[in-house]
Structure 1
Amino acid sequence: MILITDDLCARLLANGASDTETDHVPVVKLFDPTGAATWLLSELAADGDTLFGLCDLGVGFPELGSVSLAELQSVKGRLGLGIERDRYFKAEFPLSVYAEAARLCCRITQDERLLRQAADALASPHSELPPDTAEQPRR
């Protein structure tokens, strides 16, 4: 299976070439068909190999980071199967929402309720902590 089609590659490269920091919507979802590893990728560097996105190796600690396309293409898991692309994946939220939902449930999820909760949490202003009273003199 071709992990990144020409169309997907063009979209990933365009996101990667952006001059401003943008919270892109993931372009492609890759996964290990015999394990729990999943990648939601939003950018491709000009080198044509370095992808950026939300990476989850299936051990409970998904994180934003980079991964090598060549390395993903070379992986052979159990039964000799390689990494595959979810042909039906269509992102509905920016990468930060998927990252927040993954932080909350310790894995990449596409659960609509969890994603909406994460989106709402990111959209609401963060409350400020009360002033530090340790520095104030006692009366």
Structure 2
Amino acid sequence: MDIRSEVAKRLKNHPLRSQEGRSDPIIHCKLFHAFGGGTWYLTEYDGQDIAFGFVTGLVADEWGYVSISELESLKLGGEIPRIECDLFFEPIAFSKLKTQEGY
């Protein structure tokens, strides 16, 4: 599966800063590390490479920008993608996501 295509499809109507100032942003896309920690809940995308969202499971849980090409470059043995898109994820308000995911 091509992560970039899936991110672009799910966030096509949500450019960077489109949810700025919103107290409870909507998460539209979930990426996860298939072999370890790290989950990215994306709210916005520039249509090229940079997405914005909430990351959890790494050093610290935080909001910030992420490069999709950088995530795509992470491969196990140089071939198997480490980062995958949750194809069953449905958009959800961040406050409800926190309750659902339990962090």
Pairwise TM-score range, normalised by the shorter structure: 0.7 to 0.9
- 1:70: Cα distance to partner? 0.9
Give me the TM-score of the superposition, normalised by structure 2. 0.74
Give me the TM-score of the superposition, normalised by structure 1. 0.57
Give unpaired runs (5+ residues) of structure 1: 102-108, 116-139
Give unpaired runs (5+ residues) of structure 2: none
CA contact under 8 A between 1:34 and 1:78: conserved in structure 2? no
- 1:55: Cα distance to partner? 1.1
1:103-138: CA deviations, max 9, x gaps? xxxxxx733xx48xxxxxxxxxxxxxxxxxxxxxxx
The answer on 1:88 being equivalent to 2:88 is yes
Relative CO higher for 1 or 2, CA cutoff 8 Å, sep ≥ 6? Answer: 2
- 1:91: Cα distance to partner? 3.2
Greater strand percent: which structure?
2
CA contact under 8 A between 1:33 and 1:81: conserved in structure 2? no
For these two proteins, the number of residue pairs brought into alignment is 99
CA contact under 8 A between 2:28 and 2:92: conserved in structure 1? no
Question: Which stretches of structure 1, 4 residues or longer, exceed 4 Å deviation after superposition?
Answer: none
Larger Rg: 1
Partner of 2:49: 49
Greater helix percent: which structure?
1
Partner of 1:69: 68
Change (3 A) 1:25 1:79: same
1:78-125: CA deviations, max 9, x gaps? 7853111000111332x3x268x4xxxxxxx733xx48xxxxxxxxxx
